[in-house]
Structure 1
Amino acid sequence: MSSFNLADIPRLLPKVSAEEVVAADLVHRGTQIAIDLAVAALILLVTLWASRWLSTFAKGAMGRMTRQSPPDATLQTFIGSAVRYIVIIVGLVAVLQQLGVKTTSILAVLGAASLAVGLALQGALSNVAAGVMILALRPYRVGDVIETAGRIGTVRALDLFTTELTTADNLKVVIPNSKVFGDVIVNKSFHERRRVDAVFRIPISVDLAAYIAALKTRAAADPRIMTDAEPVVEITSMAEAWVEGAVRVWTMPHDHAAVMADLLLAARMLAAGQAPLPPPALPKPSPPRPAQGRKSGLRNLRSRPKAE
């Protein structure tokens, strides 16, 4: 048996030129690059499709979670956009990894850049954080009448940075979300109805029994006042020359100011011995049912049947 000599290997192998080796290497590298590009393009297409589908799914899920009340369009849009961008970011990282890019260094640079931008825009980012909390906690929605930061108005728009109000005299007020979230928020539209407290003051010489009865009659005749809670007229304070009292009735939020003005005028005219102006001719409203998902806080105000 003849022995194998290592020196015979170059003679036994076919002769390959340097050009052929370079060409074969280029073909191999080109094929690998084409495969990587095709896989990266496929990942990108799947990412874009998945981002849209998951965004739509998240919006629908938010709508199903609030099935008992009208869905909050602002919150649905925010959740859908957040899900979409998160999926796109994850997909882009996967594309870069498929193309052989070291994502750890890129993430480190992006982290340092984000820190610098965050320090420079900390005021704007505080508005974003407050906007996220407002969207999550939902102390008010678009269309509600609120009082905050010394302003009263109807919420027309709500985004991550600002809350836009329209006042009763048709002024546009834009308030940063950080100021809104850090201040007291009074939502005047949260409940289905509001109580009117019309405070009056009359001379001590007025017949209180007749005055209270006439004021109750005038309040009960107003069609804007709820029928399940009787009007209440009570004396709150008394002095040597005057008596102070209050008329307390329940009405719809949009009728609150008008009912308050009418009751104050009626109290003043009755104190002067004049007949009060008749209430407006409107259909008597039935007591509204509390909206599903929005607490009314008035469940105990329903009138009880009188004992026979």
Structure 2
Amino acid sequence: MGEIDTLLDQGAEWMPLLTDIVINLAVGLVVFFVGKFIASKVSQWCEKRMLKASVDKAVAGFTSSILYALMFAGVILMALGQVGVQTTSFIAILGAAGLAVGLALQGSLSNFASGVLIILLRPFRSGEFIDAAGQMGTVDRIELFHTYLKTPDNRVIIIPNSSIMGSSIVNFSREATRRLDLVVGISYDADIRLAKQIMEDLVAADERILKAPECVIAVSELADSSVNFILRPWVNSADYWTVRADLLEQVKYAFDEKGVGIPYPQMDVHVHKQES
């Protein structure tokens, strides 16, 4: 009986401590999950507000990602403090661990730094069509470590930010106008003056083609099987692909109607009979 009484006395002494530990742990978990939920909602709300204020979609997404990361880190510290972990010492440990992790994750830190540079330097904006890191697409959003592009066939391309900043970036949408660079070949027996006049008439008739800068139409090469013209009209960037397709189609129809031949690669073979 004496041993049982001793165990009961010890259990009674430990019970308040265990109760406090369980309560603190439960409260810490509640703080963690509730705080995480609030951080997510606040970051989403801030992104929506920035979009309503006509802030660029890429900037809004990047800012909301940083805000969520900072709030989530604060929630973790609050939850640990509630559990009883000394956050001051924990922060010091995190600093030392962060240095080690930073050295191990240089690529991720490089992506983050590149993301900051993209936001600051603004080589492209959301909705612009670019060629970066060997990929082409419309910029959808910029996040902490990656940039999301959408291709014309609705594929999503996720590119590390460091790859974008470490390569050439071609922005097809930044300028209001673009030049079409077309090569049109005619056969050697076709009338060069007639072919040039046909292309000039087609360019003059298309209202989408700008009058200034002036369209350039000239012979560029006497190739193996054709006489090649360069056809370089200027259009609004939004009309680039439609004008390109329509102009090529109209050139083909007009050449067929006027009897201007469009050649295809061919080879002449001469056979010589050797007399015995």
Q: TM-score range by the shorter chain?
A: 0.5 to 0.7
Q: 1:180 to 1:160 in 2, by over 3 A?
A: same
Q: Does 2:237 align with 1:243?
A: no
CA RMSD of aligned residues (A): 3.3
For residues 64-118 of structure 1, give each alpha carbon's deviation from its aligned partner in whole angstroms, at most 9, with x where no partner exists: xxxxxx74354366568869959x98xx9xxx9xxxx895x66543321111221
* Structure 2 match to 1:159: 143
Q: 1:175 aligns with which of 159, 163, 167?
A: 159
* Structure 2 match to 1:21: none
* Structure 1 match to 2:8: none
User: Which letter does structure 2 place at the counterpart of 1:198?
Assistant: L
Q: Does 2:117 align with 1:124?
A: no
The 5 A counterparts of 1:14-29 are none
User: Which letter does structure 2 place at the counterpart of 1:231?
Assistant: C
User: Which letter does structure 2 place at the counterpart of 1:191?
Assistant: E
Post-superposition offset of 1:131? 0.8
For 2:63 and 2:242, how far apart are their aligned partners in 1? 39
Q: 1:239 to 1:157 in 2, by over 3 A?
A: closer
* Structure 1 match to 2:14: none
Q: Does 2:244 align with 1:260?
A: yes
User: Which letter does structure 1 place at the counterpart of 2:138?
Assistant: T
User: Which letter does structure 1 place at the counterpart of 2:118?
Assistant: I
C-alpha contact 2:111 2:144 (8 A) present in aligned 1: yes
Q: 1:230 to 1:102 in 2, by over 3 A?
A: closer
The 5 A counterparts of 1:89-104 are none
C-alpha contact 1:220 1:230 (8 A) present in aligned 2: no
For residues 43-76 of structure 1, give each alpha carbon's deviation from its aligned partner in whole angstroms, at most 9, with x where no partner exists: xxxxxxxxx9xxx9xx99xx9xxxxxx7435436
The 5 A counterparts of 1:1-308 are 71-75=55-59, 78=62, 85=70, 108-239=92-223, 241-274=225-258
C-alpha contact 1:215 1:266 (8 A) present in aligned 2: no
- TM-score w.r.t. length of structure 1: 0.56
**Percent of aligned pairs sharing the same letter:** 38
For 1:216 and 1:194, how far apart are their aligned partners in 2? 19
Any idea what SS the aligned residue of 1:229 has?
Answer: coil
Q: 1:189 to 1:261 in 2, by over 3 A?
A: same
Any idea what SS the aligned residue of 1:127 has?
Answer: helix
Q: 1:109 to 1:194 in 2, by over 3 A?
A: same
Q: 1:270 to 1:125 in 2, by over 3 A?
A: same
User: Which letter does structure 2 place at the counterpart of 1:178?
Assistant: S
C-alpha contact 2:183 2:229 (8 A) present in aligned 1: yes
Mark the runs of 5 or more structure 2 residues left unpaired by the alignment: 1-41, 261-276
Give the paired residue count: 201
C-alpha contact 2:176 2:237 (8 A) present in aligned 1: yes
Mark the runs of 5 or more structure 1 residues left unpaired by the alignment: 1-51, 64-69, 277-308
Structure ID, larger Rg: 1
User: Which letter does structure 2 place at the counterpart of 1:142?
Assistant: S
- TM-score w.r.t. length of structure 2: 0.61
For 2:206 and 2:113, how far apart are their aligned partners in 1? 46
C-alpha contact 1:74 1:158 (8 A) present in aligned 2: yes
For residues 153-201 of structure 1, give each alpha carbon's deviation from its aligned partner in whole angstroms, at most 9, with x where no partner exists: 1111111211111111111111111222212211100001111111111
User: Which letter does structure 2 place at the counterpart of 1:116?
Assistant: A
C-alpha contact 2:57 2:141 (8 A) present in aligned 1: no
More helix by share: 2
Post-superposition offset of 1:270? 4.0
C-alpha contact 1:157 1:165 (8 A) present in aligned 2: yes
For 1:212 and 1:189, how far apart are their aligned partners in 2? 30
C-alpha contact 1:199 1:264 (8 A) present in aligned 2: no
C-alpha contact 1:194 1:252 (8 A) present in aligned 2: yes
